């Protein structure tokens, strides 16, 4: 394949001074993963099945849905027949398969939650007997499932869900019912028009008593005709900011009956006579699934940001604008310091999040092993970590994707750049599976407890051992080595957490109860949790890069260290107010940091295109007119424009019907 | 009309302790404006012509376009026949008419730039004779025009435009030509399928010499058939993040001829023989139009943010979630401090931007009067002001609209909330008519020059007189009265600007030329310009609120002062690093500020719904399921969902074609 590559991009690639493949291995978290990924990409993408003749966004809603189903079926067949053998069952819904799915769907497949939630929940919540019944059918795609928990009236507060499942011992059935409008299930992906089964989370009533929320497998549409069953009301929730091919649906029940056996009974049972039996470890294991999903979201945040950075950096190497010097040609916009300031932090952050996500993933697996042995001591720490990392990574990623879009000016606003869709996808992950603010407050609760332990002279878990820094009430000594910056971030976090604890006490002294005092400290608590999370990311990124580059070639070590240093210095400057309050950093130190930051931008500049090339996204995955490997930016913008149905015919119906009568004064 | 209003909202309205109408007058910049606005709203909206049976976002691209044209014609007729009499010609493209247009189009009318750019440019750039020919036809909508300046390859750098207009004295015609792909006009609103005329900005060549860019009136489509003329290639640029009913188009020419008289000759002429004659004041007047457009964008940023705040605050009063206390009901989410933190700054910012925009508008009119008398001394200051205010107001507004969306959780992600569309519209204004970074650097250039004057002991214009603060090199004394905070912000701006000047000098000492040194200071210069702009907004907001509330009732004074104080304290906390560097603020002061901030949140809380009600948006303008006056949030979400074509029939074509074969193993 001989593709003409933009000359400026070619020159950039010649400038790259490091071994790109080594960096690809780092970003993929290992050589094996890279090789596996490439194998999967070849199988999934080389057939061309992922490519649309007309861009998705030009289709009507119904056409988009039908097209997404078409591609989902092709993709499912590939996953079922070829990919699962390579990745194994646990890759379901993993970032690796997700990265592939991105080539098929600009946002999301209507089958995604079948693979990502329905199947894993069957594995996690069904008895062996139930698994034997449902799992093979689900894996073979004989049935297609959704997962419905959130309702119109309740998302964050699960205990407040209103859908009821009332056991009727006469018929040995559960009666599902939606008593109010707010009890309608809302948001479940794949539910609107696709799934014929749905896992429904409902308040379980038996023998007149409520036992809280439990999951049920509910047939909602006829397997033969696809018609919703009587007593089931199901449909699409309406158009969304993004994820419009995810088929998000609503669902309500009118005294709808399902067999007793359809309650997922691994963690709790209802016997034939209606007796409720709880099995131990229910909550802890549910916890586990939640952490798993969050880890996945952290890694997705990293990958999507890496895509945006690839698009914006390549475009910035191709785009030339303005003439700061009358006699010189227009510079590539990547040569502007402000552009480097917008983009290089995105490259660094993509690595930071990918590395921290992977570290969290490994920590999670260790904890899972411990848990299987009955030890759940690490769970609160892991929960606190996964909460804040999910919050910060999705929020940072979304904000930086927007920054990449801004950096591409008007052309970034074209959907064909793919930047708007990347944003609309990632910004959704900021909210679902735990809202940003709610999650940071969960982390804050853990942090305040940890601080109380430190105050009481007790030992604490590793990620919060730095809290002892706050005990002295003295500013930490500033130094601008990486370790010094990280130490200062820890001092900031420790200082803020201890200040929060004091604020809570101060409020309580006025007679408030703990919960009111907590409430009046939440703005500070969110900030404290953010500082904690930032210090964890900084430390993990720094430690892991040293480990991961240990056997790398010299220039890879250099450029990777430049990136992590950029990340640390960037955040030190962003949080100068915090550092001035909790460390001995001086005005002079801050000026030196700013100089160093700008030097780093200049040092990274020649390798910028090499760094995004090393993320190794195929054009099918980037789906971007601005970011394709060949840099044919303007040609692609024009080619995409011509695909719009608005360019099918030169004169539209509305001219004759409205415009002409208007201009002729006859309307 | 008896509408059942949500009980919680009703209670909130009873709590409001101030005269709402007085606040409406303040937001509208005067009682007269409010009355005029209401009159216009009644004319434009009471017929119901603005309401769609199927939500715009559910239609296909073509249907959306045709529907937008339909509504544009209705709206144009109303504007032409009824509204212009009330507002006068100068209200064309003004925020007032724009606010009305918002009820007709969720984003933008394909006619908007006819009113907003085509007509004003005819007024500004045509000779009296030319005006007599074109203006009546344009005002009567006998012709519909677009304005094409930006090309695929050039936006910011206008001198780099490539489209040529070469004079041919033989035929007394200009030959328009697009020599390259990058010379294609791109983005012009209304151009894709609607306009039959277009003002084209092209490099003027006559007698073998280039005279730079000039505007031409170019017929592009046949008035009878609407077919593009031979030699004209025109179409839609493809789907965008927002503004998809704006009909943004591309346009290229293949040696396309127009009469000599179609050059807009107020500021420069080409005589029959090809002689180029320049009339004075060309650049200065173009400047004027640009400032006018920017002022409009500042006010639109304010209004759109006010809409988002209205939606999010009302929703937060209706939504209840979680149980911080086991025995109490779920609180309204507006009772969470973190929610107040997200929302109240949006209310304050909407006022701040509206007030600053209005102040800029009045300043602009004064300068315009001066200019007509030949005095252009105030122009550089006005240009610098309009640049940074456009940049900061559109950027702040977009960011806070997203914050409002986040505050509405998942439901904010529904297009029917209208928050995503508000964002996509405002974020576009961050880029067009001067990119954020480019504009702040223009302001920075003015600021550095002003600082050099201060250093040289010369006097400077009013908005930068504070620069003398930096001359002493001493930290300004902190005090937390409003004036003290504003003074400190000025010290921050002055400190940063003088530091930038020093950095430039430092670089030049190494042998760099000024432009290279400037380039290596741009990250700092952008930050300095931001600080300058913030101090201007803070001071203007504070001064003007005192003036505007002078004759208001006591409680209006109180609540308006609470809002402006919230704005000042919020930014002081956001910029604590700056204040620690450039003022004597202490750790204790910062803690006191944080306490004060939280007290203000609690004080504003009972009036929150009253404050957004006072923005006085009719439901037709808000177009939001979450923000309607009656608070029927869940009912409206469901009603909108049911309008989606995806809910037309229970089983889609793709079930039979793809899903069933897949589930039966036959695909």
Domain chopping of chain B, boundaries: 145-279, 476-613
Cβ contact (<8 Å) for A336 and B519? yes
CB count, 10 Å around CB of A537?
A: 24
What local confidence, expressed as pLDDT, does residue A53 receive? 84
Interchain contact, B526 vs A325, CB within 8 Å: no
Test A160 with B662 for CB contact under 8 angstroms.
no
Strand segments, DSSP code E, in A121-243 are 145-148, 164-168, 173-177, 185-188, 197-206, 209-219, 232-236
- In chain B, the residue whose alpha carbon lies closest to the alpha carbon of A143 is B663
Look up residue B3 and give its two tokens: 């509408």
Q: Is B631 left (phi over 0), alpha (psi -120 to 50) or beta?
A: left
Taking an 8 Å cut-off on Cβ atoms, the answer to whether B141 and A654 are in contact is no
B522 vs B288, more confident: B522
Tokens 């480019």 — which residue? B438
Residues 6+ apart with CB under 8 A from B132: none
CB contact under 8 A, A336 and B192: no
The whole-model pTM stands at 0.97
Q: Are A386 and A434 in contact (CB under 8 A)?
A: no
Q: Which of B140, B160, B413 sits opposite A428 (nearest CB)?
A: B413
pLDDT digits (tens, 9 = 90+) for B351-383: 999 999 999 989 988 888 887 788 888 888 999
What CATH fold (topology level) applies to the domain B145-279?
Butyryl-CoA Dehydrogenase, subunit A; domain 2 (2.40.110)
The nearest CA of chain B is from the CA of A227 a distance in Å of 6
| Cα distances (Å, whole numbers) of residue A345 to A306, A342, A395 | 11, 7, 14
Would strands A185-188 and A249-253 be described as parallel, antiparallel, or unpaired? antiparallel
- According to the model, what pLDDT value does residue B1 have? 44
Give the pLDDT mean for B79-86: 80
Collect all residues of chain B within an 8 Å Cβ-Cβ radius of residue A321.
154-157, 160
Rounded to the nearest angstrom, the minimum Cα separation between A365 and chain B is: 30
Which member of B194, B235, B657 has the closest CB to residue A641?
A: B235
CB-nearest to A141 from B523, B652, B663 is B663
The alpha-carbon gap from A382 to the nearest alpha carbon of chain B, in Å, equals 23
**Paired strand residues for B522:** none
Cβ contacts (< 8 Å) between A62 and chain B: which residues? 645-646, 652
Q: Identify the CA nearest to A349 among candidates A140, A610, A536, A538.
A: A538
List chain A residues with CB under 8 Å of B443. Answer: none
Closest chain A residue to B145, measured at CA: A663
Interface test with A, best of B106, B183, B219, B237 (most A CBs within 10 A): B237
d(CA B603, CA B597): 10
For the cut 70, the answer to whether the pLDDT of residue B280 exceeds it is no
- pLDDT tens per residue, range B126-149: 999 999 999 999 999 999 999 999
Backbone angles phi, psi at B185, to 5 degrees: -65, 145
pLDDT tens string B632-644: 999 999 999 999 9
* Same fold yes or no, A143-279 and A473-613: no
Matching residue, tokens 């001394």: B377
Alpha-helical segments (H) within B223-336: 282-318
Q: For residues A554-571, b (16+ Cβ closer than 10 Å) or e, as one string?
A: eebbbbbebbbbbbbbbb
CB atoms B70 and A634 under 8 Å: no
Instruction: Determine which of B65, B523, B588 to mutate to test the interface with A (most A C-beta atoms within 10 Å).
Output: B523
* Three-class SS state of B216: strand
Helix residue spans in A476-550 (DSSP H): 482-509, 514-519, 522-548
Residues of chain A contacting B109 with CB distance shorter than 8 Å: none
Q: Between chain A and chain B, how many beta carbons pairs sit less than 8 Å apart?
A: 356
Segments of chain A scoring below 70 in pLDDT: 1-3, 89-95, 280-286
Interface touch A142/B667, C-beta < 8 Å: no
Does A653 sit within 8 Å of B156, measured CB to CB?
no
Chain B contact probe: residue of A67, A318, A410 with most B CBs at under 10 A = A410
Phi, psi angle pair for B186, to nearest 5°: -150, 135
Average pLDDT over residues B65-80: 90
Shortest Cα distance, chain A CAs vs residue B15, angstroms? 21
Partner-chain contact A226 B323, CB within 8 Å: no
Q: Which chain B residues are closer than 8 Å to A598 by Cβ?
A: 520, 523
**A638 with B250: Cβ contact below 8 A:** yes
What pLDDT, on a 0 to 100 scale, did the predictor assign at position A2? Answer: 52
What distance in Å separates residue B137's CA from the closest CA in chain A?
9
- What is the C-alpha separation between A396 and A392, in angstroms, rounded? 6
Least CB–CB distance from B157: residue in A321, A413, A519: A321
Q: Which CATH superfamily is domain A473-613 in?
A: Butyryl-CoA Dehydrogenase, subunit A, domain 3 (1.20.140.10)
What confidence score (pLDDT) does residue B284 get?
A: 63
Contact A576 B577 (CB under 8 A): yes
Contact A411, B241 (CB under 8 A): no
Query: Cα(A163)–Cα(A160) distance, rounded to whole angstroms?
Result: 9
For the domain covering A143-279, report its CATH number: 2.40.110.10
Residue B41: active-site member: no
The DSSP string of B126-173 is S-HHHHHHHHHHHHTTSS-EEEE--BSS-SS-GGG---EEEEETTTTE
Neighboring chain A residues of B70 at a CB cutoff of 8 Å: 654, 657-658
CA A91 to chain B, closest CA, distance in angstroms equals 21
Q: Residue A1: what pLDDT?
A: 44
- ipTM > 0.95 for the complex: yes
Q: Which residue of B has its CA nearest to A188?
A: B410
Q: How many Å apart are CA A217 and CA A118, to the nearest integer? A: 9
Interchain contact, B660 vs A226, CB within 8 Å: yes
The per-residue pLDDT for range B460-498, each reduced to its tens digit, is: 999 999 999 888 889 999 999 999 999 999 999 999 999
Q: What angle do CA B555, B556, B559 make, to 5 degrees?
A: 85
Instruction: Please say whether the beta carbons of A244 and A64 come within 8 A.
Output: yes
Q: CATH code for B476-613? A: 1.20.140.10
Reported as a single tens digit per residue, the pLDDT across B296-305 is 899 999 999 9
Q: How confident is the model at residue B76 (pLDDT cuts 50, 70, 90)?
A: confident
Cα B295 from Cα B307, distance rounded (Å): 19
Residue A243: its H or E element:
none
Q: What residue in A sits closest to B602 (Cα-Cα)?
A: A520
Considering only CB atoms, A659 lies closest to which of B62, B73, B412, namely B73
B49: exposed, middle or buried (Cβ count in 10 Å: 0-12, 13-18, 19+): middle
Q: Which residue has the higher pLDDT, B528 or B81?
A: B528
Separation in Å, CA A446 to CA A176, A453, A465, A490, A528: 37, 11, 13, 16, 11
**Distance between A379 CA and the closest CA of chain B, angstroms:** 23
Q: Which of the following is catalytic: B57, B261, B433, B452?
A: B433
> Between the CA of residue B110 and those of B48, B69, B73, B554, what are the distances in Å?
20, 7, 10, 45
| For chain B, percent of residues with pLDDT exceeding 70 | 97
Angle at A300 between CA A296 and CA A304, to 5 degrees: 180
The strand pairing partners of A235, in sequence order, are A250
Residues whose CB is less than 8 angstroms from the CB of residue A464 and which lie 6 or more positions away in sequence, other chains included: A381, A446, A447, A450, A532
Q: Do A526 and B428 touch (CB under 8 A)?
A: no
């Amino acid at each position: 394949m001989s593709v003409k590559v933009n000359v400026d991009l070619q020159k950039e690639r010649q400038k790259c001074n490091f071994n790109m493949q080594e960096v690809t291995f780092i970003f993929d978290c290992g050589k094996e993963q890279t090789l596996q990924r490439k194998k999967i990409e070849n199988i999934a993408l080389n057939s061309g099945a992922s490519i649309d003749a007309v861009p998705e966004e030009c289709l009507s809603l119904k056409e988009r849905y039908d097209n997404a189903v078409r591609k989902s079926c092709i993709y499912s067949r590939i996953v079922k027949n070829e990919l699962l053998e390579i990745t194994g069952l646990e890759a379901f819904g993993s970032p690796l398969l997700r990265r592939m799915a991105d080539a098929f769907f600009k946002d999301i497949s209507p089958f995604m939650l079948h693979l990502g939630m329905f199947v894993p929940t069957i594995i996690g919540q069904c008895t062996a007997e139930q698994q034997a019944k449902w799992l093979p059918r689900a894996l073979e795609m004989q049935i297609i499932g959704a997962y419905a928990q959130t309702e119109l009236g309740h998302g964050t507060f699960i205990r407040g869900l209103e859908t009821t499942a009332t056991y009727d011992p006469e018929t040995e059935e559960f009666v599902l019912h939606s008593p109010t409008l707010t009890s309608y299930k809302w948001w479940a992906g794949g539910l609107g028009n696709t799934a014929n089964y749905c896992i429904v989370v409902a308040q379980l009533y038996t023998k007149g008593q409520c036992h809280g929320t439990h999951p049920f497998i509910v047939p909602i549409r006829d397997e033969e005709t696809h018609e919703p069953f009587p007593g089931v009301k199901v449909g699409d929730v309406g158009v969304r900011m993004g994820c419009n091919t995810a088929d998000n649906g609503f669902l309500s029940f009118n005294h709808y009956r399902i067999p007793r056996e359809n309650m997922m009974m691994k963690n709790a049972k209802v016997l034939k006579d209606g007796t409720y039996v709880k099995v131990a470890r229910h909550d802890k294991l549910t916890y586990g699934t939640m952490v798993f999903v969050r880890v996945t979201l952290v890694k997705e945040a990293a990958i999507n940001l890496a895509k945006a950075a690839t698009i914006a950096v390549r475009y910035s190497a191709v785009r030339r604008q303005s003439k700061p010097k009358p006699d010189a040609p227009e510079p590539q916009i990547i040569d502007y310091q402000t552009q480097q300031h917008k983009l290089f932090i995105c490259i660094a952050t993509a690595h930071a999040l990918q590395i921290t996500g992977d570290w969290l993933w490994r920590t999670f697996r260790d904890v899972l092993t411990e848990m299987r042995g009955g030890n759940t001591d690490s769970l609160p720490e892991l929960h606190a970590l996964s909460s804040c990392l999910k919050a910060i990574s999705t929020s940072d990623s979304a904000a930086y994707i927007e920054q990449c879009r801004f950096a591409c000016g008007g052309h970034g606003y074209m959907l064909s750049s793919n930047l708007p869709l990347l944003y609309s996808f990632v910004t959704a992950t900021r909210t679902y599976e735990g809202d940003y603010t709610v999650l940071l407050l969960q982390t804050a609760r853990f942090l305040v407890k940890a601080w109380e332990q430190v105050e009481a002279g007790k030992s604490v878990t590793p990620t919060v051992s730095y809290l002892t820094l706050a005990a002295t009430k003295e500013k930490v000594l500033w130094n601008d080595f990486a370790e010094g910056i990280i130490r200062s971030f820890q001092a900031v976090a420790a200082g803020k957490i201890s200040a929060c604890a004091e604020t809570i006490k101060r409020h309580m002294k006025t007679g408030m109860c703990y919960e009111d005092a907590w409430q009046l400290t939440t703005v500070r608590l969110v900030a404290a949790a953010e500082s904690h999370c930032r210090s964890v990311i900084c430390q993990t990124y720094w430690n892991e890069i040293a480990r991961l580059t240990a056997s790398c070639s010299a220039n890879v070590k250099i450029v990777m260290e430049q990136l992590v240093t950029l990340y640390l210095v960037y955040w030190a400057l962003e949080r100068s107010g915090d550092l001035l309050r909790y460390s001995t950093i001086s005005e002079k130190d801050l000026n030196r940091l700013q100089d160093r930051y700008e030097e780093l931008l200049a040092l990274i500049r020649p390798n910028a295109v090499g760094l995004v090339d090393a993320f190794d996204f195929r054009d099918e995955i980037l789906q971007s007119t601005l970011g394709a490997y060949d840099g044919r930016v303007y040609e692609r913008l024009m080619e995409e424009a011509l695909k719009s149905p608005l360019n099918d015919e030169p004169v539209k119906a509305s001219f004759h019907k409205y415009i002409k009568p208007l201009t002729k004064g006859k309307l």
